[in-house]
Amino acid sequence: MRKLAAALGVEAMSLYNHIAGKEHLLGGMVDVVVAEIEPPSASGDWKLEMRTWAISARAALKGIRGRSG
C-alpha cells in the first residue's frame, strides 16, 4: 500500500478512504482483468469456443504487463 500511495503521490493512509485494504484492492484488480476476457458463446463447437476463450484470457493477462492507470 505504501508503494502504491507513493506512486500516486499520496499518503498510504489516504488510500483507506477509497478502499478497505489490500485484499479489496487486489479483488478489484482481478475484476478488471476478468471483465476483459471474452466469455465463450454457445455456438456448439466447444473446442473452438475454448480456444477463443483461452486466446482472450491470454491477451487480457498479457495486457497487465506495463499497464499503469
pLDDT at 41: 83
pLDDT at 66: 59
> Domain segments of the chain: what residues?
1-30, 36-69
For residue 15, CA distances in Å to 3, 18, 27, 69 come to 11, 6, 15, 15
pLDDT at 6: 92
pTM for the model stands at: 0.63
pLDDT 10s digits, 19-61: 888 899 899 989 999 999 988 888 788 999 999 999 999 998 8
Query: DSSP letter at 37?
Result: S
Q: Cβ(37)–Cβ(56) under 8 Å?
A: yes
Place of cell 480456444: 51
**Angle formed by the axes of helices 22-35 and 46-62, to 10°?**
130
The answer, yes or no, to whether residue 1 has pLDDT greater than 90, is: no
Q: Taking Cα atoms as reference points, which of 66, 7, 57 lies closest to residue 33?
A: 57
pLDDT 10s digits, 52-69: 999 999 998 888 765 655
